[in-house]
Amino acid sequence: MKTTEYLLSFIRNGKPMTWQQQLKLTIWLSFPAILAQFSSVLMQYIDASMVGRLGANESASIGLVSTTIWLFGGLASTVCSGFSVQVAHSIGANDYQKARNIARQSLLSTVLFGILLCIIGTSISGGLPVWLGGNKDITGLASEYFFIYALCLPVMEINYMSGAVLRCSGNMKVPSMLNIMMCVMDVVFNFLLIFPTHHFDIAGMNIVIPGAGLGVVGAALGTAIAVFITAMSKLYFLCFRSGDLSLMKHHHDNFKYNFRFLKTAAKISAPMSCERIVMCGAQIASTLIVAPLGTIAIAANSFGITAESLCYMPGYGISEAATTLIGQSLGAGRRELTSRFSRITVLMGIGVMSLMGVVLYVCAPYMMQLMTPHSEIVSLGVDALRIEAFAEPMFAASIVCYGIFVGAGDTFVPACMNLFSIWAVRLTLAWFLAPSMGLLGVWTAMCIELCFRGVIFLLRLKFGKWQRKLV
């Protein structure tokens, strides 16, 4: 039996676990998730670098709609959380038939939701860049990019949902490896679709690498193809290869659409979805604050966010592991073990992201130079990243704590905490600081807010009643 599956069986079967076993299980679950998160961000990093070679307008066109893309992607992923948490609780209670039924229902429900998002996204794609304050040099490209993204949302739902179910069952390796494969494919497809045909002379031989020369549209199409292949691969594994969770191997299950599962999913997902809407609304408001600062500021802000994400992705990887550990521990009725896993994951997240904060501060110039040759964008982006580096430890605390609360099915209060923090602290400060400090004022506000958010999440972890929220 594999190490992770062996140790997870201790949780499900009520066996005692030593501190070393708990730490080992946390690391074994976190590592592939961190690796997948890194590869995902690296994909964005390379995409940004490729588009950055086209010019400032092309970079700004994607940066302009990036917050809206996060909004739609966030809604897609939060709907998945409502079902995947129920899968984790059912597996923790050794009720695999119930877990499979929830998984089947989740795929149907989330694809329908993805189709709804697709209709909304394609409908607003034409006017969105104008609403966000973009100038006429970038609105056309931004609209085309967002339209292609919106068309892919149903497939993205399959990708998110299949991966979430596999992870909550304790299988971090397969979705993580497939996500890495997606990143490699994205780089290849983007290179072929963004740039024109290349000719190289090597040792007297003329080597031709074909290219479509589609620019920003090529970046969107390359990512769409990579996501489609990955989604189908995850779905195949969930249906045919996932042991006790394989949906097709257990087709004899008496499956009926159960509205109780849907109601529970809505109870978990609704606060998270509302939070994403309001938080992305805040990010869009932040974009509106940045947009009047000019094309250089928009591009530097976009590149800076991509560069910083390399540092906080380990936190999200550990957060995914925390959701699985907390969900299965509470499903098994082991609250003391739940508390120990919460402490281990939070401390691990803070430690890893503190180290990444140092890396961000030192390597900021090189990270920006890889994405754009524009000296003004690089200089402004470096200053912003070095401000943000000081927020990484507390940002880690909020990320991992949120994953813990999601695993317990406790989403309403954490969602309210996030909303208060970003609207009352970040946007208020950014509004005051941007006129005098420019983009650096916006990033200073972000740094202060993330530290504040980490503190209030740690206080809830210590004193809150989140363990009583088991669904």
Q: What is the pLDDT along the chain (471 residues), one digit of tens a residue?
A: 467 778 888 888 888 888 889 988 888 888 877 877 777 666 666 766 777 777 778 877 887 887 788 788 888 888 888 898 898 888 888 888 888 999 999 999 999 999 999 999 999 999 998 888 788 888 888 899 999 999 999 999 999 999 989 988 888 889 888 988 998 898 899 889 988 887 766 666 777 778 788 888 998 999 899 999 999 999 999 999 887 788 887 767 777 778 888 888 888 888 888 877 877 777 778 878 887 888 888 888 878 887 887 788 888 889 988 998 998 898 888 888 999 999 999 999 999 999 999 999 999 999 888 877 888 889 999 999 999 999 999 999 999 999 999 888 888 899 899 889 989 999 999 999 988 898 999 999 999 999 999 999 999 998 878 876 555
Q: How many Å apart are CA 67 and CA 290, to the nearest integer?
A: 12
| Residues in contact with 148: Cβ distance below 8 Å, sequence separation at least 6, in sequence order | 217, 220, 221, 224
User: E strands, 217-348, where?
Assistant: none
Per-state percent for the chain, helix, strand, coil, to nearest 5: 85, 5, 15
Identify the pLDDT of residue 397.
95
- Find, among 423, 397, 110, 162, the residue nearest to 273 by Cα: 110
Identify the pLDDT of residue 452.
97
The pair of three-digit structure tokens given for residue 407, joined into one six-digit string: 């695993």
Q: How many Å apart are CA 140 and CA 126, to the nearest integer?
A: 8
Beta bridge partners of 207: 200
DSSP 212: E
Give the dihedral sign, CA 283/287/288/289.
Answer: positive
- Find, among 184, 192, 217, 231, the residue nearest to 46 by Cα: 184
Residue 147, number of CB atoms within 10 A of its CB: 19
Contact between 43 and 186 under an 8 Å Cβ cutoff? The reply is yes
Identify the pLDDT of residue 469.
54
Quote the number of domains for the chain.
1
For residue 390, what are the domain limits?
3-469
Q: How many Å apart are CA 315 and CA 37, to the nearest integer?
A: 9
Identify the pLDDT of residue 203.
65
pTM above 0.85, yes or no: no
Identify the pLDDT of residue 235.
94
| Residues in contact with 70: Cβ distance below 8 Å, sequence separation at least 6, in sequence order | 280, 283
Q: How many Å apart are CA 422 and CA 416, to the nearest integer?
A: 10
User: E strands, 282-428, where?
Assistant: none
Please name the amino acid found at residue 230.
Answer: T
